[in-house]
Structure 1
Amino acid sequence: MLQSFGYAAFDPQSPLRPFAFQRREPGPSDVLIDIAYCGVCHSDLHQVRNEWQGTTFPIVPGHEIVGHVVDVGTEAGDFKPGDRVGVGCMVDSCGTCPDCLDHQEQFCNATVFTYNSPDPHTGAMTYGGYSNRIVVDRRFVLRVSDTLALAGVAPLLCAGITTYSPLRHWRVGAGHKVGIVGLGGLGHMGVKFAHAFGAETVLFTTTPEKAADAQRLGAHQAVVSKDPEAMRRHLGSFDFILDTVAAAHDLDAYLSLLKRDGTLCLVGVPERPHPSPNVGNLIFKRRSLVGSLIGGIRETQEMLDFCAEHRIVADIELIAMPDIDTAYRRMLNNDVKYRFVIDMATLPVQ
């Protein structure tokens, strides 16, 4: 076993603190990665505070991981030491079910998530990227271009693919009017991708001060969703709206903005259910209310390659590992533009 170090939560109330634990020795198909940076996702906070009622403590969060290959198994020769790589929300799946065969591993019933998931290799739980290193099966290791700033790539492994995948799946592109709800970690990536795909891009926000930043990121305009008149001007005009907000809110406000056959897609998981929408808002314009979960490994690599081609990375604020609880508090107050990323060089030596 490999002695490893990280930061863990030991209960839902206490601050995260240093934690020593064991990683498995790399097997034939494994890649050993030294972690350079790890993004901070809102789902980290949900799980640390057990808001989804499924956390096993201690928990080492983190599923937006980038770093460098240190060692590879005998069957992982397509990677070599020094390669820039990433690891997202998953580290394994069955590989044989219809979802896996369709390169949609996130829907596999045996998906092993990067943290807080039963680990078939150790019999314990998986530990995530708030740590110095990780061992991952080569099938779940992603290549990162040398042309992109590594720290800015980290959030692409969750926030990036979570917004890229539905925009691609519903074929967003030139000639479409697309709305992005929320300008946080996910929303700012949604704006960047919708713009890069050639769509007319509109940002919905409750914060008027974010309008200028939305346009800097690629939005053609920003609408303050608390302004009824501003919302009325867009009734029935959108082809697709991507809702990234991870808090319960009124979905009818956005369903009514869709054209006939328009789609509202949810990617944020709230701490409690959204109020039920008015069924008439769906029936009378044949609108769709859908959801999307991250993306498969093939599509995640496609997204990383697209980002390299178009020079897209996340807007980040780099933090030290001991500042993670302060970052959580700021994240709850929407005080980040737009993703915290932990510099693992600041991980205290054990």
Structure 2
Amino acid sequence: MTHTSVAAYAAPAPKAPLERTTIPRRELGAHDILIDIKFAGICHSDIHTARAEWGEGGHFPLVPGHEIAGVVAATGSAVSRYAVGDRVGVGCFVDSCRECDNCRAGIEQYCTGELGNVGTYNAVGRDGEPTQGGYSTHLVVDENYALRIPESIPLDAAAPLLCAGITVYSPLAHWQAGPGKKVAVVGLGGLGHMGVKIAHAMGAEVTVLSQSLRKKDDGLRFGADAYHATSDPATFEALAGTFDLIINTVSADLDLNAYLSLLRTDGTLVQLGAPEKPLTVAPFALIGGRRSFAGSLIGGIRETQEMLDFCGEHSIAADIELISADRINEAYERVLASDVRYRFVIDTSTI
């Protein structure tokens, strides 16, 4: 198989600073499109993976990035979904087995086939080559795993929708956030600020639960009806038994039992953040109110397109800080310090 070299930023080894390099991209297959990447969001998952914090073996050098927005630059001979010049995005995976029950149901993120859900980076594709992500100038991807970005969403602010947007949209849709439902969003970061915007647009009553009131004005601007500091014990007393749905967007070791106490009977706490260590749940925190503790992983291609169209219709986009590629390592440190409002996006023309 022949390849084309493109510029990228990669972590040469676990925990090593990212540096400029070149990586191979495969030649176009019949159903492939070549994307001229314009913008790539920085997700906390990128940092976890580049620093090997989730314990899995990595494919280094590793190019992170699964919040990709760009323009179709070329198409394979059998491509029917896209044409040169189309605005497209790629999210957290670039392939799946396509044959298992979950793939056939359109929830490819839960692929159970032999190939599995092929991550946009740090995975191995069906060609046997490691996948490399969006901190690069170009990407080749099967047309069936690309998404159309509505014209009403700026490309730079659209990039984070491909992970942060769908990560919160999927559980909000699945647990039917909408009019008459009380939804709490834990954490107002990259995921949380999208959760507030989307839950509000769905018609739910939205409360932000954050460590402090530092971002309260932002939370209310995004559509929150209420904002409470979790560092204040009175918050948990005042809000006991309040919510139908809580989405936890933070990757930290929280007292889940305290948050479960905020659910109404039959309420659900959905875990979205992925901390390094196991979480602890007391059985009676669930049993006492027939409460559920659940998890959710991104979304399938169909639902991700649904999310993009929803955001287009409601003028929803991420609040971003656009950076040049030489600031990626600085941005990583600022993400860890919660010093970003609310998503870093790389201008890939600077790679």
Shorter-chain TM-score bucket reads over 0.9
Letter in 1 for 2:338: N
Letter in 2 for 1:66: A
Asked whether 1:321 is paired with 2:321, we answer: no
Partner of 2:75: 72
State how far apart, in whole Å, the 1-side matches of 2:318 and 2:28 are: 31
Q: 2:97 aligns with which of 94, 110, 119?
A: 94
Whether contact under 8 Å (1:185, 1:338) holds in the other structure is yes
SS at match of 1:208: coil
Q: CA deviation at 1:113?
A: 0.8
Asked whether 1:11 is paired with 2:13, we answer: yes
Whether contact under 8 Å (2:16, 2:51) holds in the other structure is no
Asked whether 1:2 is paired with 2:4, we answer: yes
State how far apart, in whole Å, the 1-side matches of 2:160 and 2:167 are: 10
Q: CA deviation at 1:345?
A: 1.1
Identity of aligned residues (%): 52
Partner of 2:27: 25
State how far apart, in whole Å, the 1-side matches of 2:264 and 2:204 are: 15
Partner of 2:124: 118
* Length-normalised TM-score, structure 1: 0.97
Asked whether 1:152 is paired with 2:162, we answer: no
Q: CA deviation at 1:148?
A: 1.1
Q: CA deviation at 1:104?
A: 0.4
Letter in 2 for 1:78: R
Q: CA deviation at 1:5?
A: 1.3
Whether contact under 8 Å (2:63, 2:135) holds in the other structure is yes
State how far apart, in whole Å, the 2-side matches of 1:180 and 1:29 are: 39
Whether contact under 8 Å (2:69, 2:155) holds in the other structure is yes
SS at match of 1:209: coil
Asked whether 1:289 is paired with 2:286, we answer: no
Letter in 2 for 1:318: L
Deviations 1:273-299, CA, capped at 9 Å, x for gaps? 22x122111011100000000000000
Which residues of 2 match residues 1-350 of structure 1 at below 5 A? 1-54=3-56, 55-109=58-112, 110-121=116-127, 123-274=128-279, 276-347=280-351
SS at match of 1:265: strand
SS at match of 1:136: strand
Whether contact under 8 Å (2:95, 2:125) holds in the other structure is no
Deviations 1:254-282, CA, capped at 9 Å, x for gaps? 100000000000010002122x1221110
Letter in 1 for 2:330: T
> Tell me, which stretches of 5 or more residues in structure 1 are unaligned?
none
Whether contact under 8 Å (1:282, 1:288) holds in the other structure is yes
Q: CA deviation at 1:14?
A: 2.2
SS at match of 1:6: strand
Deviations 1:46-97, CA, capped at 9 Å, x for gaps? 0000001222211000000000001111221321111000000010011110
Segments of 4+ moved more than 6 angstroms = none
Whether contact under 8 Å (2:15, 2:52) holds in the other structure is no
State how far apart, in whole Å, the 1-side matches of 2:80 and 2:74 are: 10
State how far apart, in whole Å, the 1-side matches of 2:265 and 2:15 are: 46
Whether contact under 8 Å (2:212, 2:228) holds in the other structure is no
State how far apart, in whole Å, the 1-side matches of 2:268 and 2:235 are: 20
Q: CA deviation at 1:195?
A: 0.5
State how far apart, in whole Å, the 2-side matches of 1:39 and 1:98 are: 31
* Length-normalised TM-score, structure 2: 0.97
144-153 or 298-307: which moved more?
144-153
Letter in 1 for 2:155: L
SS at match of 1:325: helix
Letter in 1 for 2:117: T
State how far apart, in whole Å, the 1-side matches of 2:6 and 2:314 are: 36
Whether contact under 8 Å (1:223, 1:231) holds in the other structure is no
71-80 or 60-69: which moved more?
71-80
State how far apart, in whole Å, the 2-side matches of 1:236 and 1:195 are: 21
State how far apart, in whole Å, the 1-side matches of 2:347 and 2:266 are: 44
Whether contact under 8 Å (1:223, 1:230) holds in the other structure is yes
